[in-house]
């Protein structure tokens, strides 16, 4: 959790939840949910207790990507999360399934988010990953201002249009004094299955350049990969497969970087007590 902005309300911790990692972006469609889902599964495979909260209430894709269609029930006042691949899950998509759009305005969204954070029986978690909606709007801002985040992971593609918006997302977190754990360059390149050459579909290296400019780490470069898209569409994310795959290695690198940065961020946030002799 980063230091509080002057005059800000204290953010109450979520009992039992050790680290909260928000996955955001400036631009839509750059792979936030794909990164959040595969990061969560990779962390669970490393032996951690993991939850995944889908904060994209208008376009919740976590149920499809995790292959879960069910309705959560409550025990007393506590909503029981669903589960897949060993991860506890909550999403508006479980409560409003199908193609009907949600026609809610800001205050309703903010209150449902608070319920998802605080009335869901998350139990003991090492990591709660939050898949944010795209952009830097009111819902994202309210959520990060009321949640004791360990830090944020910003997803971008290497294209200039995505990077321009990624910089805004980094600034949003910095403005509210939240730690940016780093940038992920997704859809970084494509290894052509036919000729074997690398194709820089959305350009390449913009994530590294932007990370350097903004003085935040580049956590990983995740290639563009048809199996990753297929895994998302069929509810069998690439990180859940047993067989080795280069894409799984890329997500393992990301998970390790997130673990290290989260631990650094927590140490920074812990006030040191000076003991005088």
Ligand X SMILES: Nc1ncnc2c1ncn2[C@@H]1O[C@H](COP(=O)(O)OP(=O)(O)OP(=O)(O)O)[C@@H](O)[C@H]1O
- What is the rounded radius of gyration, in angstroms, for the C-alpha atoms of the chain? 18
Q: Does 67 bind ligand X (CB under 6 A)?
A: no
Q: Does 252 bind ligand X (CB under 6 A)?
A: no
* CB-based contacts of 263, cutoff 8 Å, min separation 6: none
For the chain, the distance separating the N- and C-terminal CA atoms, rounded to the nearest angstrom, is: 30
Half-sphere CA count of 172, side-chain side, radius 13 A: 25
Window 223 to 242, contacts with ligand X (CB under 6 A): 224-225, 228-229, 232
> Judged by CB under 6 A, which stretch of 21-29, 77-85, 119-127, 255-263 contacts ligand X?
21-29
Q: Of 148 and 207, which CB lies nearer to ligand X in the complex structure?
A: 207
The Cα 125–Cα 244 span in angstroms is 27
Q: Does 33 bind Mg ion (CB under 5 A)?
A: yes
x/- track of binding to Mg ion for residues 43-82 (CB under 5 A)? ------------------x---------------------
* CB-based contacts of 251, cutoff 8 Å, min separation 6: 38, 39, 41, 42, 220, 222, 238, 239
| Residue pointed to by tokens 């360059």 | 185
The Cα 215–Cα 174 span in angstroms is 11
The Cα 122–Cα 155 span in angstroms is 25
> Judged by CB under 6 A, which stretch of 99-107, 113-121, 220-228, 261-269 contacts ligand X?
220-228
- Smallest gap from Cβ 78 to ligand X, in A, equals 28
Q: Of 31 and 81, which CB lies nearer to ligand X in the complex structure?
A: 31
x/- track of binding to ligand X for residues 173-212 (CB under 6 A)? -------------xx-------------------------
Of 26, 32, 92, 165, the one binding ligand X (CB under 6 A) is: 32
Q: Of 59 and 86, which CB lies nearer to ligand X in the complex structure?
A: 59
Q: Of 33 and 136, which CB lies nearer to Mg ion in the complex structure?
A: 33
Q: How far is CA 157 from CA 66, 167, 189, 276, in A?
A: 23, 12, 10, 50
Q: Of 2 and 232, which CB lies nearer to ligand X in the complex structure?
A: 232
Q: What is the DSSP letter of 181?
A: E
Window 34 to 53, contacts with ligand X (CB under 6 A): 34
Contact 216, 170 (CB under 8 A): yes
List interacting residues with ligand X (CB under 6 A).
25, 28-34, 56, 59, 61, 134, 186-187, 222, 224-225, 228-229, 232
List interacting residues with Mg ion (CB under 5 A).
32-33, 61
């Amino acid at each position: 959790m980063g230091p509080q902005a002057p005059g800000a309300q204290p953010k109450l911790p979520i009992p039992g939840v050790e680290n909260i990692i928000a996955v955001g972006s400036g631009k839509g469609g750059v792979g936030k949910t794909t990164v959040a889902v595969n990061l969560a599964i990779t962390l669970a495979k490393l032996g951690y207790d993991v939850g995944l909260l889908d904060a994209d209430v208008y376009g919740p894709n976590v149920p499809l990507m995790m292959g879960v269609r069910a309705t959560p029930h409550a025990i007393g006042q506590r909503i029981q999360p669903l589960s897949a691949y060993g991860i506890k899950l909550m999403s508006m998509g479980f409560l409003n399934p199908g193609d009907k759009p949600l026609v809610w305005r800001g205050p309703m969204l903010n209150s449902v988010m608070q319920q998802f954070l605080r009335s869901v029986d998350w139990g003991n978690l090492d990591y709660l990953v939050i898949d944010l909606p795209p952009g830097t709007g009111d819902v994202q801002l309210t959520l990060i201002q009321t949640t004791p985040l360990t830090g944020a992971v910003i997803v971008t593609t290497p294209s200039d249009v995505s990077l321009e918006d990624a910089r805004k997302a980094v600034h949003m977190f910095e403005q509210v004094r939240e730690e940016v754990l780093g940038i992920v360059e997704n859809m970084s390149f494509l290894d052509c299955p036919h000729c074997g050459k690398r194709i820089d579909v959305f350009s390449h290296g913009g994530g590294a350049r932007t990370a350097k400019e903004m003085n935040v780490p580049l956590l990983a470069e995740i290639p563009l990969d048809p199996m990753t898209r297929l895994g998302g569409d069929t509810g069998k994310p690439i990180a859940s497969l047993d067989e080795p795959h280069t894409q799984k290695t890329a997500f393992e690198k990301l998970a390790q970087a997130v673990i290290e940065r989260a631990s650094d961020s927590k140490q920074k946030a812990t006030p040191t007590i000076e003991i005088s002799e």
